[in-house]
Amino acid sequence: MLPATPLSAACCNLALKEEVLEDILDLDLSVSETDDFIQLVSGEKILFGSVPLAHRYGGHQFGIWADQLGDGRAHLIGIYMNRKGEKWELQLKGSGKTPYSRHGDGRAVLRSSVREFLGSEAVHHLGIPTSRAASLVVSDDEVWRDQFYDGNVVKERAAVVLRVAKSWFRIGSLEILAHYGELDLLRTLLDFIIQEHFPSVDVGEPNRYVDFFSVVVSETAQLIALWTSVGFAHGVCNTDNFSLLSITIDYGPFGFMEAYNPDFVPNTSDDERRYKIGNQANIGMFNLNKLSQALNPLLDPRQKQLAALILEGYPDLYYTRFRELFKAKLGLLGERKGDEDLIAFLLHLMEKTAADFTMTFRQLSEITQSQLQELNIPQQFWALQTISKHELFPAWVSQYLLRLKSNMNDSDSERRKRMMTVNPRYVLKNWMAESAVRKAERNDFSEVRLLQQVLQHPFQKHSTAEKAGYASPTPSWAKNLRVSCSS
């Protein structure tokens, strides 16, 4: 295994996530100021007893089998058990070549590293399972990238992110073994994963692989429904980027949807719009089918039948969770006929008016029922003003207010309070990340730090965030920003 390739001595620009360092890695923040720590998180130093590893996997990329892949620029540097008894796998991303670099230099650039550092933490604080980021080190080392694959190769700065997760195993970890007929290793790996990460599955049970598959199907449906509920599009939902533990991993060209659009694609490399936000649930089904195929060599005919039935249940699992989440976003209690129609009606109006997804739901959380009933939308509710221009908006408001009356033992203040706990005021919109990246490229990490603070409490109003425009319409300069796979 190739060791990490140290960044240059000029790599002293450092961003930290205090919560990860203190609560997960049991480190006092003062440790981050030491040379030992900086050398560790930049790949210059290896901990005593650590043997850096890279992960071998395969995958279906954009629907096509891409054969063997693997971590080409990420080194697993150890597993740490913290004082709570939790095991966390520590990985350096952008730390140099591994056996799977496929002619690449093994580096990550600053722009993608800032986005992963902020994005993974934003997703975590929205209550969605994800890998975490502990530190970001930036260097003056030069890397060359064709960002939009248009022949325009430019010099960029290298960076390394220390990221942690309970596990980095993904669907592609099993696919590669099944593809090459390494069935003994496949069985050994599966039993290890079940033993370590699936306590509800009995590793001694003959149906353990079917039980494992059932959990993954259910939790994948849950994860993608959560993504959708906050307008998050992963961008590259290949099987090699889908965690077996159903956590969000491998932040590439992700994006939080601004104007509501089921065809929203954050990744400009996705010409076929395969991974548009409205197709993520279907892609989940595709990926789980590939997982089922990887498990098939270990299953008898009856178990294969059971696995097929489990997979058939995935759409119902997804839509049940989707409905629950969007009902909560609208403050609806109990079950009423027509709830799905009410949600679909609103999303239709949002699509037709290009209303801001995050702020429409947030402002519905803040506006009073009397203001809605009078169709008196104050100026500060700019997203609702956008949607109110549709001729059918009054009809939707009438249906919504009628439905709210059926909430048992509820009040308008309780509704608003409840809705504000599930509808964030701030998400990491593309323009916010871009603004932080541009400053970081000038060695100004002030906005990275500001966004860290704001995104740690996305449901609470912050005066500094309001001043920065994080709850305002997208600025005109950012209308045509693009993000690609190149990093």
Which amino acids are annotated catalytic? 240
The four Cα atoms 146, 148, 152, 158 give a dihedral, to 10 degrees, of -40
Please give the helix or strand (H or E) that residue 306 lies within, else none.
helix 301-312
With the C-alpha atoms ordered 155, 427, 221, 185, is the resulting torsion angle positive or negative? positive
CB 399 within 8 A of CB 342: yes
Quick one: DSSP state of residue 157?
E
Tokens encoding 114: 């800032």
Are 378 and 314 in contact by the 8 Å Cβ rule? The answer is: no
**422-438 burial by CB neighbour count: b if 16+ within 10 A, else e?**
bbbbbbbbbbbbbbbbe
DSSP conformation letters of 448-483: HHHHHHHHTSTTS--HHHHHHTTTSPPPGGGTT--B
Query: What are the backbone dihedrals phi and psi of residue 267, each rounded to the nearest 5 degrees, phi first?
Result: -100, 110
C-alpha distances in angstroms, 101 versus 105, 268, 422?
Answer: 7, 23, 41
Handedness of CA 418, 404, 401, 260 (dihedral sign): positive
Q: Alpha-carbon distance 105 to 142, whole Å? A: 11
Distance in angstroms (rounded) separating the CA atoms of residues 456 and 371: 31
Distance in angstroms (rounded) separating the CA atoms of residues 350 and 140: 44
